Amino acid sequence: MRAVCWEGKKDVRVQTVPDPKILNRRDAIVRITSTAICGSDLHLYNGRIPTMEAGDILGHEFMGEVVETGSGVTNLQKGDRIVVPFDIACGDCLPCSKEFYSACDNSNPNAAIPIEMQGYAGAAAFGYTKMYGHYAGGQAEYVRVPFADFGPIKVPNGLDDEQVLFLSDIFPTGYMAAENANIEPGDTVAVWGCGPVGQFAIRSAFMLGAGRVIGIDRHVKRLRLAEQGGAETLNYETTKDVVEALKDLTAGRGPERCIDAVGMEAHGTSLYGKVERAKQALMLQLDNDTALRQAIQACGKGGTVSVVGVYAGFMDKFPYGIMFGKGLTLKGGQCNTQKYMRPLLERIEKGEINPPDIITHRAKLEEAPAMYDKFEREKDDCVKVVLTP
Amino acid sequence: MNTVILATRISVSQHMNTGPRGTAQFHEDGDTVRRSVTIRRPLVEVEQQWSVSGIPGKATFAQAAGDRGVELRVEASADEQKSAKELFGSYASDNPGESLSAALRQLKSRLETGEAPTTLGQPSGRESANG
């Protein structure tokens, strides 16, 4: 089969590789019909996350048709259309019993690596590093899905791929960001990052009762998409001070809820932001906390900061004193995707949201290297790329 | 070198059915490794599977607080643990503590899910590069 393989920093190639096969009884093999490039893939593309190996197959946002099942899979059969959650969970362990699927005890065969590096192991993910399980990803013609009897959901007739593909990751992630923000009716919510996850966070915030949502980014296309989703917007490249601007927009209170949908590769145009990027470039630190720091500084007293932007390591000079003084709640984490897929599918079926609105580029799998470059360099108003094998 | 770590006395509420536990102790030295895992299966099942697992070491079992499963603790000599590596192949290291941890994780996975997670035999571009 053909598959998109990571070959090094800023080097992805579509290669011919062996087809996947059933390895465990709870596996399924899926013929992929649609797959997307995620912002998290760019962390790998940019060489920021350790333990990738040349030849690893990328991709964790995908869906398709079941072609084979292991003996332990009785809820799926050949021909079923399914969407697969990006994080792999068994459904049986203690974290899974509490819907904390991103912390599954049993899906990572390489758990010893994250335990050694950071003291714990969470769930594995498709198409990511050895530390995260080293599972072959779904930017390919076929993929092996472990615990297929638990994670994937069937797609009802009448919904095309683009309407449901983002249930694999970014829609549940944006929704969880809004849910974790503890939004109360009428709250003002600020969202750092109007990329795909931020777009779904904005829309989800309104679903959960926000009165105002303010989207923060620098790309005009992303800001316009945010406005299409009902948000007011701030362009941080033309705003002298984002924190002061948010205070002014809320007459001194600050937004009650702040969502960081940016993560470790924040840009930041302030002197602080430039210093943080220099430290990243010199490998003095892994995470750039510009967006998170602004969120903490801007958030209203007693408010909540919700973090779904990906962070990988440690931060320098984290403003915990401000958090403590304002009595903020900080909540973050990888998405417990399986918890949200069915409820959000219902919202799609009811017409409450139209996920394809955020797609800006469609291409064939063979064009993946060019699409990665375009996505990473934010060329051609690229916001979200969907590939078809 | 002996390393003995003593925790402060833990007082336990009257309505927990485990009763007061006394001073917590964790003891591990260079010749002995001690590792533990919580398994979300009935105690009799965990005990039975442990008995046929082939993992070397002395095991104790306890119900985890809050109905969280069975706490399995294993203490073994470092020499015994090196043989655990052969039980599960390439993911083990030569570190005896890590070998025991990996063996216990596999036991837990098999009990809770019916299988151990694996990626051995999956495709990659490395096969493509090697022809």
- The residue of chain B nearest to residue A58, with distances taken between CA atoms, is B124
Residue window 190-229, chain A: list those with CB within 8 Å of chain B: none
Q: How far is A130 from chain B (nearest CA, A)?
A: 10
- The residue of chain A nearest to residue B128, with distances taken between CA atoms, is A17
Q: How far apart are CA A29 and CA A31, in angstroms?
A: 7
B77 domain-assigned? yes
Regarding beta strands A2-8 and A56-57, do their DSSP bridges make them parallel or antiparallel, or are they unpaired? antiparallel
In this predicted structure, the answer to whether residue B93 has a pLDDT above a threshold of 50 is yes
| A326 SS3 class | helix
Cβ–Cβ pairs < 8 A, chains A and B: 109
Interface confidence (ipTM) of the complex: 0.90
CB-based contact, A137 to chain B, within 8 Å: no
The residues of chain A that CATH labels 3.40.50.720 are 171-332
Q: How far is B14 from chain A (nearest CA, A)?
A: 26
Task: Please report, for the domain that includes residue B52, its CATH number.
Answer: 3.30.70
Question: Which chain A residues are Cβ-neighbours of B89 within 8 angstroms?
Answer: none
- Cβ-proximal residues to A258 (8 Å cutoff; 6+ apart), any chain: A181, A189, A190, A191, A192, A295, A296, A298, A299, A303, A304, A305, A306
- The reply to whether CATH 3.90.180.10 applies to domain A2-169+335-388 is yes
B96 domain-assigned? yes
Average pLDDT over residues B111-131: 86
What is the number of domains present in chain B?
1
Q: Which of the four pLDDT bands, split at 50, 70 and 90, describes residue B6? A: very low
**How much is the pLDDT for B16?**
32
Domain around B56 = 31-115
B93 domain-assigned? yes
What tens digit of pLDDT does each residue of B97-112 get?
Answer: 678 888 999 999 999 9
| DSSP-derived secondary structure letter, B131 | -
| Residue B111, amino acid | L
A171-332 adopts what CATH topology?
Answer: Rossmann fold (3.40.50)
Q: Which of A57, A105, A109 sits opposite B123 (nearest CB)?
A: A57
Residues of chain A with pLDDT under 70: 265-288
Question: In angstroms, how far is the first alpha carbon of chain B from the final one?
Answer: 51
Say whether pTM exceeds 0.80.
yes
B122 domain-assigned? no
In this predicted structure, the answer to whether residue B130 has a pLDDT above a threshold of 60 is no
The residues of chain A that CATH labels 3.90.180.10 are 2-169+335-388
CB-based contact, B116 to chain A, within 8 Å: yes
